[in-house]
Amino acid sequence: MKHILVTGANGQLGQCLKVLAQSSEHSFTFLNSKELDVTNPNQITSVFKTQSYDFCINCAAYTAVDKAESEVNQAQSINAQGAKNLAEACKTFNTVLIHISTDFVFDGTKHISYIETDATNPLSVYGQTKLEAEQYIQEILERYYIIRTSWLYSEFGKNFVKRMLHLARNRDELNIVDNQIGTPTYAMDLAKVILKMIPTEVYYGLYHFSNQGVASWYDFAKVIFELTQTTIKVNPIPASSYPTPAERPHFSVLNKAKIVQNFNLEIPYWQESLKKCIKALF
């Protein structure tokens, strides 16, 4: 049995881990941002002193991508400095850190899926702060897993699936960007992979994980409405017609070959996982 600390426990991934923890052989401590502020090194030290943790899963993050452009210090403090603080505590207390990163570390100029060793070039404050977190962890620790993921959704928290269903209740028509390409990822699938990685304590390093397949936000929305039998007109539009404070990569499909090989995974296609999420929502 492993003792596992989960930060940011009220987020999508944290809540998915809570569900899985109910049937897990491991012992979990779930702390939300009020119970453990990752920007406070003293508070982190106090938590690590109360229990000997084998693993720390860092789900704490500033994820408001557009707001980060104007709240740079807050995003940097939580995403980058927070990860650094946790990494230093993990080093001191001999704990393996599992940190969640993002496809936003890339600029989206590739036309084939990104592998872990591809050059990073974030376009946004959010992407930059998440990249800084990766760099801190790699500098400080030898025993870590960094998992980059993309387009995370679940039955918990705020996400694209729930936003589409909410908008559809009040509108007859939606315009959705069709030239940003990536892969929707069900947070429950990511949570399951993390728990599968935990007992191994080998193959440390940087990984990519998303569901299988490729989609645009327009494709994603269309399937959400099909699966929920929602009648609404969905119009494809270019990203240029929907300007946002933060620039997003036009192409950010992640190559999962490394994580599949090292941990013997079978990754579901995004449509199949979306069906499971929709079922959980209804």
Each domain of the chain, given as residue ranges in start order, spans 3-159+185-212+252-269
CATH code: domain 3-159+185-212+252-269 is 3.40.50.720
Q: Are 151 and 178 in contact (CB under 8 A)?
A: no
Residue tagged active-site, from 53, 62, 114, 126: 126
pLDDT given for residue 242 in this prediction: 83
Asked whether 86 and 210 are in contact (CB, 8 A), the reply is no
Give Cα separations from 30 to 5, 54, 70, 195, 208 (angstroms): 6, 14, 30, 14, 24
pTM here?
A: 0.95
Q: What is the mean pLDDT of residues 105-130?
A: 96
pLDDT tens, position by position, 185-207: 999 999 999 999 997 778 999 99
pLDDT of amino acid 202: 82
Return d(Cα 201, Cα 223) in angstroms, integer. 37
Whole-number pLDDT of residue 243: 86
Instruction: Determine the distance from the C-alpha atom of residue 242 to the mean position of all C-alpha atoms in its chain, rounded to a whole number.
Output: 24
Residue among 193, 201, 184, 197 at smallest CA distance from 272:
184
Tokens of 75: 């995003």
126 is catalytic: yes
pLDDT score of 251: 96
Tell me the pLDDT band of 134, cut-offs 50, 70 and 90: very high
In this structure, are strands 152-153 and 233-237 parallel, antiparallel, or unpaired? unpaired
